[in-house]
Amino acid sequence: MVIKNYQELSSLEIDTLREIGSIGTGNAATALSGMLGCPVRITLPEVRIMEYNEAIDWIGGPESVTAGVLVHIGGQLNGIMLSVQPLEFINIILDRMLSNSIEDYGQLDELQRSALLEVGNIMISTFINALSGLAGLKVELTVPSLTVDMQGAILTVPMAEYGGQTDYLMTIGGNFSCDGHELPCRLILSPDIRSLNFLLRKLGVEDD
């Protein structure tokens, strides 16, 4: 059966996407460990289908300022993926990579922004590579972009691009463990509906 929106996903399809999320975030944690030079583990990720406003609350509320790394996905899977980086997560990255930290996002300099962009890009590309390998897809990623803004504004990108198709998106959450700190991991994957159907078909779990 071809689904018309995210709400029509069956429990089997959501469980399969949850397994993909677990593998993808596990690979992202391994890549992050190599970049930071310390063991990085992630708790079992939670994959949920959320309405946009619910997703905004899930990542901290519409007026909370955060950094987000955004990549557009093309090829056999079209959509976007967003890595949300809260301040505590950012300071672990900056401390491990540059031996410094910040008190607020306004203090980010060009070198620090470049480091955050690189980390976000590695996490997203590692996740997407795991997904495309499991599903046998050819996927292309655009050059990543880093935005510092209120979370409500950051999520207007998927809303603007895919809000005409659905008011829901796929969220992947868990906690990274590094240097004794538990850091929230927030990834948002939003394939368009055609791509979501194609992905499910390639994974062999599309309901009849």
Q: Where are the domains of the chain?
A: 6-203
171 close to 47: Cβ distance less than 8 angstroms: yes
Q: What is the CA radius of gyration of the chain?
A: 16
Q: Residue 97's closest CA among 77, 76, 83, 111?
A: 111
Amino acid at the residue 155: L
Q: Map residue 20 onto helix, strand or coil.
A: helix
Query: Residue 82 region, left (φ>0) first, then alpha (ψ -120 to 50), else beta?
Result: beta
Mean pLDDT over residues 165-188, rounded?
76
As given in the structure block, the two tokens for residue 7 are 């709400």
> Is the per-residue pLDDT at 119 higher than 70?
yes
Mean pLDDT over residues 181-190, rounded?
79
pLDDT confidence bin for 115, thresholds 50/70/90: very high
Most confident of 68-72, 172-176, 177-181, 204-208: 68-72
Most confident of 5-14, 18-27, 142-151, 170-179: 142-151
Q: How far is CA 37 from the centre of its chain?
A: 22
In the beta sheet, which residues pair with residue 186?
A: 84, 173
Mean pLDDT over residues 95-108, rounded?
92
As given in the structure block, the two tokens for residue 67 are 């950094």
As given in the structure block, the two tokens for residue 8 are 């029509």
Q: What is the DSSP letter of 143?
A: P
> Is the per-residue pLDDT at 206 higher than 80?
no
Give the percent of the chain with pLDDT over 70: 93
Topology (CATH level 3) of domain 6-203: Chemotaxis protein chec (3.40.1550)
| pLDDT tens readout for residues 19-55 | 888 888 888 888 888 888 888 887 767 788 888 788 8
Alpha-carbon span 95 to 86, nearest angstrom: 14
Q: Residue 200's closest CA among 16, 40, 4?
A: 16
As given in the structure block, the two tokens for residue 54 are 């619910």
Model pLDDT, residue 35: 86
119 close to 29: Cβ distance less than 8 angstroms: no
> Is the per-residue pLDDT at 185 higher than 80?
no
Q: Residue 123's closest CA among 198, 71, 86, 190?
A: 71
> Is the per-residue pLDDT at 174 higher than 60?
yes
